[in-house]
Structure 1
Amino acid sequence: MAKKEIIDLNIFGQVCPACLLVALKQVNILRDKLKKGETELLIRTDHRDATRTIPESVRAMGYEVEVRKVTSHYEIRVGNRL
């Protein structure tokens, strides 16, 4: 299997609802590749509320989501077959 393309979306400094809107726009742009499992979206944020709003929304769209706390920020991985 080919290696997945990872798209890095940095939304540091943004607060909700901007975090959610920017993330959902990128998910919609990448929807075909995400659904096929060719691409994974890695969202980096320093806004804790985004770790709730983004995963809830993208799960409702049928994607798999993983949230991880890193030293100074959070990483939200979105895709299929994570």
Structure 2
Amino acid sequence: MDTREIIETIDLNILGQVCPACLLVVLKALNDHEQRLRCGKTRLVVRTDHRDSTRTVPESARKMGYAALVKKVGSYYEISIGKKDDPA
């Protein structure tokens, strides 16, 4: 039997937005879901096509104590943010 917990994913689509709007939207989501993100029950997945966000968003999330991982998916980037000791 698989005993791993199912992690809820919050999808945040900010395609077409540019900084600083991208960062502000993500920071609001991090603050709104802070308890669930910090305990590891939730992961935030951000989709963006703004290249600067691949630097500013993970950097800010890490400064707030989260793990952040960026990967290129087709024509956009996906930034996964979650509990620090879990792979995002």
Aligned to 1:75: 78
- Gaps (5+ residues) in structure 2? none
**Following the alignment from structure 1 to structure 2, what is the Cα–Cα distance between the partners of residues 16 and 48?**
10
Q: Say yes or no: does 1:29 pair with 2:32.
A: yes
| TM superposition shift of 1:39 | 0.1
* Counterpart residue identity of residue 47, structure 1: H
Computed over aligned residues only, the root mean square deviation of the Cα atoms, in angstroms, reads: 0.6
TM-score by length of 2: 0.91
Which structure's CA Rg is the greater one? 2
Deviation string for 1:4-62 (max 9, x for gaps)? Answer: 00000000010000000000000100110000000000000000000000011010000
- Show the counterpart of 1:62: 65
How many residue pairs match? The answer is 82
Aligned to 1:16: 19
Deviation, structure 1 residue 2? 1.9
Q: Distance in 2 between matches of 1:29 and 1:79?
A: 14
Matched AA of 2:62: R
Gaps of 5+ in 1: none
1:5 and 1:20 map into 2 onto residues whose CA distance is 22
Q: TM-score, normalised by structure 1?
A: 0.97
- Give the % identical residues: 57
**After TM superposition, what 4+ stretches of structure 1 lie above 4 angstroms from structure 2?**
none
